[in-house]
Chain A
């Protein structure tokens, strides 16, 4: 193997994670150091050297189910270092503020604390009675539990800081019912009818100790609620995946879960860079509305110029009489103007410049033009989407090829470049697909021309790469093919990055003009 081959290998290693560096940042401490919302200093884009994608300092990490709980406890601990409250109280407070530490701190020290505790449905921890409630109490006098209405002389009584005590059996039944049925484990109220104090985790763990299944479900729900409430966390939307993703900003940037699924951090849709969430949603809606039926109707029918009923001409002369009983308009099929001035020239419309007809035709022409424009972008979008769907097939083909190459004497590791090339190909196709959505909404200006140039470059490179991957590999061409494939896939990744950087810089400096269609 020549030196140049090794070079390629090294280069490949750099891009090895098949995601650029920003997507797999190993820096776990990051979240402890950095403020949650980061705004880039002005001019950052132009001056500072950038990683593969300089768009903001967007970073994210993937969090497994176990780590989630510790992440939650970390936040509680951080706040408690200041508050010095029982952790379970702090947790309810944090949950009330959707885990926004700063807002809680601000509110805690600035304003009516009594009201804060009331709004968060907890008893003011500073005014609590000295009697340690929460610890199990056995009373010597006969007390009637308000749930089972039984004397509780021999039973353990339990209650929250609101001092509504119930026997432990009733608590167990209550919690089982609430935790098993409820979707939000952090919002279970005291079982007393007129009390809205929330059940905290301490009492759950204490009372439900003999029922690990309920505790597990409680923890699961707590984690669920935690991620849902936390603005900077999202569940991976891939079916069956239990990972969550935490980022340092809510921007609509694609993230990749440990399970391999790529999605937009802001809207949880499949990754749709470079187009923004807003226009992505608009596009999806448009595609749903404009079904194939609508296309056919637009292409093959005309509208009655008076009542706008849709008409298909199946034969006969140009004199149209609208069948709509309320309309009955007479008009010419060719020019869509009123029939009257056509007189007896039945089969020949010579009134093309008639102003009425012109208005009707212009309306339709405009409609058709808009449709053509849409179809232009739609077809290219769908084309890439279809190609992406063959991804699985391609991976299987590549697998076979890699085995063939190993038969030809290459080591397993030396054949990995093929797989990486397919990864690149898929990324580029995904990006290309959405560049057409981006372009559809884009108003033409100098920047959009530059964008289209970038798009063309990427498209050509991607198609060439795709072609290389389809080629048969034999012992003669093997080293040649390897070099070509590696070069091309690196080139593709770079072109993709250039395109994305340009788009994101454009978002920053506000050079893109969109129209809503």
Chain B
């Protein structure tokens, strides 16, 4: 079965590389290990979302039973999204679990994940903190998601990004790692005092 997995991934490579989405540089697929078991995907943030302009790297592991079982995919780039863990990058997407079908491909997976960025499902969250923010204070969620896309994934800067960067910097000046600072600030709706308290308590 393992040989089928490798054969199939080889073919899929071709499909992704020659696809129209790849030409528009919306998606990309690269090998990490020679054995084709470990791949790296890349998707562009969809337009009209906080992720616009950003590029996200995905870590893809191909199981031996592929394509009869889904590939294991997670975000290597940090992202602020209700269905993606802000800590581990784990993705909550049905086609990566029980809704996987053997005729789906890495291309469809990449496109589905891209579509997930455009339409979040806060009622079925992977990251409860983000989902709560998404539902209760959508403006703050939007601002945070955009900031994360800019800070970690090369997204377009926004009007308030200088402001937020300043807050992060003020925490970094206290000796806090920048990743921890961004996490804590995002978690506490950019309230610097509570964020600092949470880190030092």
- Decide yes or no whether A164 CB sits under 8 A from chain B: yes
Contacts A/B (CB < 8 Å), 11 sampled = A146-B103, A148-B4, A149-B12, A149-B105, A150-B11, A169-B4, A177-B69, A189-B101, A190-B101, A193-B108, A194-B101
**Contact between chains at A148 and B103 (CB < 8 Å):** no
- Decide yes or no whether A191 CB sits under 8 A from chain B: yes
A275 to B69, alpha carbons, bound, how many Å?
48
**Contact between chains at B68 and A177 (CB < 8 Å):** yes
**Contact between chains at A148 and B68 (CB < 8 Å):** no
What is the CB-to-nearest-CB distance from A441 to chain B, in angstroms, rounded to a whole number?
Answer: 42
What is the CB-to-nearest-CB distance from B64 to chain A, in angstroms, rounded to a whole number?
Answer: 11
The residues of B that contact A146 with a CB separation of less than 8 Å are: 103
What is the CB-to-nearest-CB distance from A290 to chain B, in angstroms, rounded to a whole number?
Answer: 37
Among A148, A164, A169, which residue has the most Cβ atoms of chain B within 10 A? A148
Residues in A lying within 8 Å of B, measured CB to CB: 146-150, 164, 166, 169-170, 173-174, 176-178, 189-195
- Decide yes or no whether B15 CB sits under 8 A from chain A: yes
The residues of A that contact B4 with a CB separation of less than 8 Å are: 148, 169-170, 173
The residues of B that contact A166 with a CB separation of less than 8 Å are: 102-103
**Contact between chains at B101 and A191 (CB < 8 Å):** yes
Known: A166-B103, A191-B101, A193-B101. A173 touches B8 (CB 8 A): no
What is the CB-to-nearest-CB distance from B39 to chain A, in angstroms, rounded to a whole number?
Answer: 16
The residues of B that contact A195 with a CB separation of less than 8 Å are: 101
Known: A164-B103, A170-B102, A192-B101. A148 touches B1 (CB 8 A): no
**One of A177, A178, A193 near B104 (C-beta < 8 A):** A193
- Decide yes or no whether B67 CB sits under 8 A from chain A: yes
What is the CB-to-nearest-CB distance from A180 to chain B, in angstroms, rounded to a whole number?
Answer: 10
What is the CB-to-nearest-CB distance from A517 to chain B, in angstroms, rounded to a whole number?
Answer: 40
**Contact between chains at A149 and B15 (CB < 8 Å):** yes
Chain B residue at minimum C-beta to C-beta distance from A147: B102
Query: Main secondary structure on chain A at its contact with chain B?
Result: loop
**One of A150, A173, A191, A194 near B1 (C-beta < 8 A):** A173
**Contact between chains at B102 and A191 (CB < 8 Å):** yes
A177 to B103, alpha carbons, bound, how many Å?
14
What is the CB-to-nearest-CB distance from A38 to chain B, in angstroms, rounded to a whole number?
Answer: 40
Known: A191-B101, A193-B108. A149 touches B68 (CB 8 A): no
- Decide yes or no whether B65 CB sits under 8 A from chain A: yes
- Decide yes or no whether B7 CB sits under 8 A from chain A: yes
**One of B7, B12, B95, B103 near A191 (C-beta < 8 A):** B103
Chain A residue at minimum C-beta to C-beta distance from B99: A193
- Chain B 1-26: CB-based contact to A (< 8 A → 1; otherwise 0): 10010011001100100000000000
**Contact between chains at B8 and A148 (CB < 8 Å):** yes
A-B contact count (CB 8 A): 48
The residues of A that contact B68 with a CB separation of less than 8 Å are: 173-174, 176-178
> Residues of B within 8 Å of A, CB-based: how many?
18
What is the CB-to-nearest-CB distance from A159 to chain B, in angstroms, rounded to a whole number?
Answer: 11
Among B1, B4, B102, B104, which residue has the most Cβ atoms of chain A within 10 A? B102
What is the CB-to-nearest-CB distance from B33 to chain A, in angstroms, rounded to a whole number?
Answer: 21
The residues of B that contact A150 with a CB separation of less than 8 Å are: 7, 11
The residues of B that contact A178 with a CB separation of less than 8 Å are: 68
**One of B7, B8, B12, B65 near A177 (C-beta < 8 A):** B65
A75 to B1, alpha carbons, bound, how many Å?
38
Chain A residue at minimum C-beta to C-beta distance from B104: A193
A145 to B105, alpha carbons, bound, how many Å?
12
**Contact between chains at A149 and B101 (CB < 8 Å):** no
Question: With contacts A148-B7, A194-B101, A195-B101 known, what are 4 further pairs, Cβ within 8 A?
Answer: A148-B4, A164-B103, A191-B103, A193-B95
What is the CB-to-nearest-CB distance from B38 to chain A, in angstroms, rounded to a whole number?
Answer: 20
The residues of B that contact A189 with a CB separation of less than 8 Å are: 101
The residues of B that contact A169 with a CB separation of less than 8 Å are: 4
Chain B residue at minimum C-beta to C-beta distance from A194: B101
What is the CB-to-nearest-CB distance from B8 to chain A, in angstroms, rounded to a whole number?
Answer: 5
Q: Which of B53-97 contact A (CB under 8 A)?
A: 65, 67-69, 95
**One of B1, B12, B15, B103 near A192 (C-beta < 8 A):** B103
The residues of B that contact A176 with a CB separation of less than 8 Å are: 68
A147 to B104, alpha carbons, bound, how many Å?
8
Among A147, A177, A189, A195, which residue has the most Cβ atoms of chain B within 10 A? A147
Chain A residue at minimum C-beta to C-beta distance from B15: A149
The residues of A that contact B103 with a CB separation of less than 8 Å are: 146-147, 164, 166, 191-193
A149 to B18, alpha carbons, bound, how many Å?
14
A69 to B197, alpha carbons, bound, how many Å?
66
What is the CB-to-nearest-CB distance from A51 to chain B, in angstroms, rounded to a whole number?
Answer: 50
The residues of A that contact B8 with a CB separation of less than 8 Å are: 147-149
The residues of B that contact A193 with a CB separation of less than 8 Å are: 95, 101, 103-104, 108
What is the CB-to-nearest-CB distance from B192 to chain A, in angstroms, rounded to a whole number?
Answer: 37
Among A148, A150, A176, A193, which residue has the most Cβ atoms of chain B within 10 A? A193
What is the CB-to-nearest-CB distance from A148 to chain B, in angstroms, rounded to a whole number?
Answer: 5
What is the CB-to-nearest-CB distance from B15 to chain A, in angstroms, rounded to a whole number?
Answer: 7
